[in-house]
Amino acid sequence: EPEVTQTPSHQVTQMGQEVILRCVPISNHLYFYWYRQILGQKVEFLVSFYNNEISEKSEIFDDQFSVERPDGSNFTLKIRSTKLEDSAMYFCASSGAGGSRAGELFFGEGSRLTVL
Amino acid sequence: KNEVEQSPQNLTAQEGEFITINCSYSVGISALHWLQQHPGGGIVSLFMLSSGKKKHGRLIATINIQEKHSSLHITASHPRDSAVYICAVNPRRGGSEKLVFGKGTKLTVNP
């Protein structure tokens, strides 16, 4: 079965540093998402992306966050100046518009970010 | 108040038992998802429902739109079913695509 891949699986960074998390969504999917899960808490929506632009974002997704789909395959989440509270597991997800599994989200394995 | 509530929070069963996990939500939705989160953290989609019932192997998911309630059943549970099961909904708000998640139900199946 096709899968969403994320890199890195774990990143440790110093507070204030920039971090880029990378995702390769399923190739024929059109909708892309980033979610995060702080340890011990529920998964939270960050941003959705469709047709090369942000379609929806949460209150968490402030000016220090940005997303890009630079080359038609990768989908990246950039955190410009990391804070301690950005430590979390970040999940990329994608979904397609048609077929028997339309609207179903396919998640990557997650990128664990630790900010020191 | 959380928009998505799951019960129980934790569930321990013996191998072979029939498992039910419940999810209630407080908003209008376009779809409800059941997801499985492995101990390593990865999330797998099990079902997406907007009405009725779906079955896949030993897993059955039902939804009652009028009562804003869904259940996930596991028949003949096995230790490999041990995971966190998460209910998430697509709120029906102006074309929103995001999922709103419950806190999850941690299932442990003992041999």
pLDDT digits (tens, 9 = 90+) for B49-65: 999 999 999 999 999 99
- DSSP, collapsed to helix, strand or coil, labels residue A85 as helix
Could you give phi then psi for residue A3, rounded to 5 degrees? Answer: -140, 160
Chain position carrying tokens 């540093």: A17
Q: Does B63 touch chain A (CB under 8 A)?
A: no
pLDDT for B108 equals: 97
pLDDT for A2 equals: 74
B104 chain-A contacts, CB cut-off 8 A: 42
B88 chain-A contacts, CB cut-off 8 A: 43
Contact B97, A45 (CB under 8 A): no
| pLDDT tens-digit readout, A7-53 | 999 999 999 999 999 999 998 888 999 999 999 999 999 999 998 89
Give the dihedral sign, CA B86/B92/B93/B97.
positive
Cβ separation B45–A107 shorter than 8 A: yes
| pLDDT tens-digit readout, A48-88 | 999 889 999 999 999 999 999 988 789 999 999 999 999 99
